[in-house]
Amino acid sequence: MATAQGALKGNCITFLQNTPNIVNSLPLKMADLCDTLKVIFIGARPPERLQLKRILTVRKKKIVEALRWLKKDNILYKNVDINLDNIAQLPEDDIPESIMTTMEQILNDKEVPSERAGYIPDPLSNSTELNISDVIPVNNSAVLDVNGSSISSEERNDYLLKKIKNDGTNDEMDVENIYLIPHSSKPVNEYFNPKLLAGLYPTLFCYGLGAPEDQTRPLTINLREHIRYLLSYNDRRFEKNHSFIFVVFNLLQRRDACFHAQLIATKPYFRSSAQEIHSLKTSDIEAALKNISTGTHNKGSNKALGKLVNHIKTIGGRVIGSAYSRTSLRTHLHAMIFNQSLPNIFRTLNPADIHSPVALYFAGVKLDLNNVQAKQLMGAYKRAEIIASHPVATAKFFHILICDILDTMILRGVVGPVKAYFGTVESQGQGSLHLHLLIWLNHDLKPADMKNKIQDPSFRENLIAYLEDIIKEDLNEFKDKCVFENLDAPRSFNTPTRLSSDSIYAALRTIDLAGLEENTNENDIRLTPTKDQSSPSIPYASPPNLRGSPSIPYASPQRTELLQTPIHDQSISSMDDSNIQSRLPPACLPTPNPSLTNFWSRFCADVTQLVESGNVHRHSDTCYKYCKDMAKKICRLIMPRKLISVSTIDPETGHISMRRSHPWINNFNEYIISSCRSNMDIKFIWTGS
């Protein structure tokens, strides 16, 4: 049946929960397990118990051994009793009945697929990939309070009163005693409490030691840097844990919400409020904090303090992922538009992490990136399982790939001379990252100038030639020049030895696109270039090579030396090498070697395969995710598109019609798509009326 799923794919979603009371006996009763763990199945038919056993099995013997070891060797479990009655309820090797009986099933649901659908076809939906592996890829995500709505204004006020008190006594803020987690049953010391994470994750901190902010450690280590270290740990256990990364992220968010909170007062009360703060004594604030902690605070007990609390409010700042952070990005973008005028090019990149040998390498798969063998890349299901379980490695791959493309492709002139860019990173429903990028070309034409110049036929002709050079909407230029290899033949993928192993996707950097000498200017190209740089009257597609240190306005790890990583089991049980080679997608292959004598024909073949496999639009749920139920469904990506034989620009309206002989191909640039090996989009932003 076409509607019957052939395999399982999963998502592990972590929700914020009330902090439970500290237990003194383990394990918990089986009836209590379903209170914190919920399984929801969505599909055409219910899953078989055998399928679910691969991820939900409980083994009594293993749990008993783990509890005995923890009680003996973990300092936090010394006083925990092992409840033999509850152990007797555990299955020997099966799914707990409380989980099975409370499992929700949503069959033939039509809305949910659109939540997971992305811009590119799901590689796991390929019929050739079904039933070839016992792997169940599980993507981890979480529902987080990014805007700090769970942190009450009273808590922020409480924190800021402590800050005022400490500032008044010249005390440092790193001497916090306690912090209340909202709505939980008991206060939990979230600051400088090494027992918090060590107690929550005995499988990560096996001996109850090594957690962040341990006061007994001779050197003070910043919490954020310690978390980075743990997520990059050699055995990957912190990175692969389903919830650790979300718990520590929420912890950092909560701290940011308080540490970066600010006091604001309305204009009529500003001067008096400042005087009130200055007049407060340390003893007044200490008394107020004591009363707040016991719930007996009375604003009337201290007139000055009461006025302060009444007229001053708190606002959050610099909280990752919050509405404030998005507002900050918009402000930054508006400032760039004010400084640089309107952008000229909009581009989207969707790196194919599941198919990338570099992503697999960062995830611990032992690969020689200069000589990758086809059989080492395994099947799509196995690759998906590895990528889904290594979010930090995948983010590192994304960061390095994007920085390399910006440095070697965008700033060096693939779309023309660039003076600035602005990019934001988003995640799709299945967790993969993609980049939206605005690019400012290095010219001095204002919208009014463009409107006047398009009246000149020569300018229109030059502009069309430029746009057809950087933006392709069909494969006419490539199909008749390409030489396709036998995809079924055994092969290895050799990378030019001159390239470093962490940037094999930038192979095109060795191509002299302009035939000009390199510009050795080391200035950051995001900023306005120096005045002696040329500002052509129209954009052109053969610029000099530019050097610069790319800087994307989003938080990401710094480039570091690669850590030694464990080797994944690369055995393939149900398929042979020939099957792998025949199914290997073009995104798995590296960019053709520019030093080859037949490079151009191979390059054309590479572009053709990449576009046909990843840049030809196919309608999916994501096309109609914003359509109303009763409205006529229209693809939000405006596909299919009208065929146009000749590119034109209407001098009256400024409307640009680009030549297009294929109705379903998404716009692409051949050099960028060959270097990123993934789905992309590129558009020229017309700044005239």
HEC letters along 231-254 = HCCCCCHHHHCCCHHHHHHHHHHH
- Between the CA of residue 590 and those of 79, 494, 611, what are the distances in Å? 56, 8, 15
Q: Position of tokens 């969707």?
A: 350
Quick check: 666 pLDDT over 50?
A: yes
474-486 burial, b at 16+ Cβ within 10 Å, e below that, comes to bbeebeeebeeee
Q: Do 665 and 431 meet the contact criterion of CB atoms below 8 Å apart?
A: no
Q: What mean pLDDT do residues 369-381 have?
A: 82
Residues 6 or more apart whose Cβ sits within 8 Å of residue 513? 412, 413, 414, 542, 545, 671
- In one-letter notation, the amino acid at residue 162 is K
Check residue 574 and give its pLDDT. Answer: 39
Residues 6 or more apart whose Cβ sits within 8 Å of residue 284? 302, 304, 305
Share of the chain above pLDDT 90, in %: 17
pLDDT band at 555; cut points 50, 70, 90: very low
DSSP string for 502-516: GGGGGGGGGS-SSSS
The domain locations on the chain are 10-143, 153-323, 326-684
Better pLDDT: 200 or 63: 63
Quick check: 149 pLDDT over 50?
A: no
Q: Can you tell me the distance from the alpha carbon of 532 to that of 83, in angstroms, rounded to the nearest whole number?
A: 78
Closest CA to 414 of 524, 548, 336, 512: 512
- Between the CA of residue 453 and those of 26, 463, 623, 651, 655, what are the distances in Å? 77, 10, 37, 9, 14
Burial of residue 580 (CB within 10 Å: 0-12, 13-18, 19+) is: buried
Share of the chain above pLDDT 70, in %: 59
Quick check: 190 pLDDT over 60?
A: no
pLDDT digits (tens, 9 = 90+) for 595-653: 888 899 999 999 999 999 888 888 877 777 777 665 677 787 788 888 988 988 888 88
Residues 6 or more apart whose Cβ sits within 8 Å of residue 593? 494, 495, 496, 507, 599
SS3 493: strand
Q: What are phi and psi of 420, to 5 degrees?
A: -165, 160
**Maximum pairwise Cα distance, the chain:** 88
Among 301-310, 420-429, 549-558, the range of highest mean pLDDT: 420-429
Quick check: 171 pLDDT over 50?
A: no
What 8-state DSSP symbol labels residue 398? H
HEC profile of 291-339: HHHHCCCCHHHCHHHHHHHHHEEEECCCCCCCHHHHHHHHHHHHHHHHH
SS3 159: helix
Compute the mean pLDDT over every residue in the chain, rounded to the nearest whole number.
71
Check residue 29 and give its pLDDT. Answer: 83
pLDDT digits (tens, 9 = 90+) for 245-271: 888 887 787 777 666 655 555 555 556
pLDDT digits (tens, 9 = 90+) for 5-48: 444 555 555 555 554 455 678 888 888 777 777 787 777 677 77
| Range 453-460, long-range pairs (CB < 8 A, 24+ positions) | 453/538, 454/649, 454/651, 454/654, 454/688, 455/651, 459/538, 460/649, 460/651
pLDDT digits (tens, 9 = 90+) for 106-146: 766 555 555 555 555 555 555 455 444 454 545 554 444 44
Q: Does the global pTM surpass 0.85?
A: no
Q: Can you tell me the distance from the alpha carbon of 643 to that of 640, in angstroms, rounded to the nearest whole number?
A: 9
Least confident range from 90-99, 157-166, 345-354, 439-448: namely 157-166
